[in-house]
């Protein structure tokens, strides 16, 4: 099937352990002339020479209110405010029959992207939606602190602070989460994963059964049990021994080729609806190795793997 894609920037980086005011999408889009490497150039090349339909919708930037709230320690309110804006943009993409590719930003912004996904497919169409969460971390921490470690707790309505609540019709069920490459858990997260029986394809599992078998099983599971699925790709899912351009590099994750195969095959599936890429920090990427990796991953989501 031929897809049309929207590239949506979500450069809001205020909820991780490294906060930055810089627009982290700018460096990714910009052409590095020496290596002829830049996302905008790449996108144009796919449209012009490969008959792709990819539109760069620009960035969803936090408004003054969202910035004010975050600067005054009201992180959850600031994130919620921002995610309302992001949710509207992602919903527009779904309503236009297009496939959103959202590039963050830290992982907290997935709150807005996933709420749009759940609203459009689960609430409005009554469809069963899964999320494949590719990450070093489980992101369902229920304690207070950096919100980039809690988007799944927020989406599942398991964040017991600040009167947080999610309407039942856009709530994510724990059973509908599929973890890949997750390897650094907090004790309450490990307990939640066990209690809820969440599918955990840790590096240990991947080594035991092999990457190919893990991916085949995952796709069979999504194919058999769901109408739609979304993929959320945290840069730190990659092996931190090489890929260190984020706040929390973590050794022992996915190889470049495993990650590219994973994204390429999931995005090629008819039930795939969209993807986001989070946590990449260009300022920690002096040689541009991770920039090249990010562009390849995004290109794999668009359907190319050469």
Residues that bind Mn ion (CB under 5 A): 107, 135, 139, 234
SS3 at position 67: helix
How does strand 177-180 pair with strand 54-59? unpaired
Burial 243-262 (b: 16+ CB within 10 A, else e): bbbbbbbbeebbebebbbbb
* Closest approach of Mn ion to the CB of residue 4, in Å: 28
CA nearest to 16, candidates 109, 106, 137:
106
Of residues 72 and 144, the one with the C-beta less far from Mn ion? 144
Handedness of CA 260, 242, 206, 271 (dihedral sign): negative
* Closest approach of Mn ion to the CB of residue 241, in Å: 18
135 and 277 Cβ atoms separated by less than 8 Å: no
Q: What is the dihedral of CA 114, 116, 122, 125, to 10 degrees?
A: -150
First-residue to last-residue Cα distance in the chain = 19
CA nearest to 267, candidates 243, 297, 294, 227:
297
Of residues 56 and 279, the one with the C-beta less far from Mn ion? 279
* Closest approach of Mn ion to the CB of residue 139, in Å: 5
* Closest approach of Mn ion to the CB of residue 247, in Å: 10
SS3 at position 174: helix
Of residues 43 and 156, the one with the C-beta less far from Mn ion? 156
Q: What is the dihedral of CA 206, 207, 212, 215, to 10 degrees?
A: 0
Of residues 110 and 122, the one with the C-beta less far from Mn ion? 110
> Residue 194 corresponds to which tokens in the numbers above?
């066990």
* Closest approach of Mn ion to the CB of residue 190, in Å: 16
* Closest approach of Mn ion to the CB of residue 94, in Å: 23
Of residues 3 and 107, the one with the C-beta less far from Mn ion? 107
109 and 10 Cβ atoms separated by less than 8 Å: yes
* Closest approach of Mn ion to the CB of residue 248, in Å: 8
Of residues 111 and 298, the one with the C-beta less far from Mn ion? 111
Of residues 19 and 30, the one with the C-beta less far from Mn ion? 19
């Amino acid at each position: 099937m031929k897809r049309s894609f929207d590239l949506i920037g979500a450069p809001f980086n205020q909820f991780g352990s490294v906060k930055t005011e810089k627009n982290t999408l700018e460096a990714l889009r910009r052409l590095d002339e020496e290596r002829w490497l830049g996302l905008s150039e790449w996108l144009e090349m796919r449209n012009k020479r490969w008959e792709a339909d990819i539109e760069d919708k620009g960035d969803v930037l936090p408004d003054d209110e969202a910035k004010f709230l975050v600067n005054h320690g009201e992180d959850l309110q600031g994130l919620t405010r921002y995610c309302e804006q992001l949710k509207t943009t992602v919903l527009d993409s779904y309503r236009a029959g297009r496939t959103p590719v959202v590039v963050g930003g830290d992982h907290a912004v997935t709150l807005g992207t996933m709420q749009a996904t759940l609203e459009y497919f689960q609430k409005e169409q009554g469809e069963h939606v899964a999320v494949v969460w590719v990450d070093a971390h489980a992101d369902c921490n229920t304690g207070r602190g950096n919100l980039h470690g809690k988007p799944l707790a927020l989406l599942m309505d398991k964040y017991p602070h600040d009167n947080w609540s999610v309407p039942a019709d856009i709530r994510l069920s724990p059973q509908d989460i599929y973890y890949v490459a997750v390897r650094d858990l907090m004790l309450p997260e490990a307990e939640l994963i066990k209690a809820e029986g969440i599918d955990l394809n840790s590096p240990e599992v991947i080594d035991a059964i092999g990457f190919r078998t893990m991916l085949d099983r995952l796709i069979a599971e999504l194919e058999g049990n769901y109408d739609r699925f979304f993929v959320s790709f945290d840069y730190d899912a990659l092996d931190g021994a090489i890929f260190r351009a984020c706040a929390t590099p973590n050794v022992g994750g996915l190889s470049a080729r495993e990650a590219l195969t994973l994204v390429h095959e999931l995005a090629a599936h008819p039930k795939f609806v969209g993807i986001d890429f989070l946590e990449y920090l260009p300022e920690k990427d002096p040689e541009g190795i991770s920039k090249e990796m990010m562009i390849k991953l995004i290109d794999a989501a668009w359907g190319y793997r050469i």
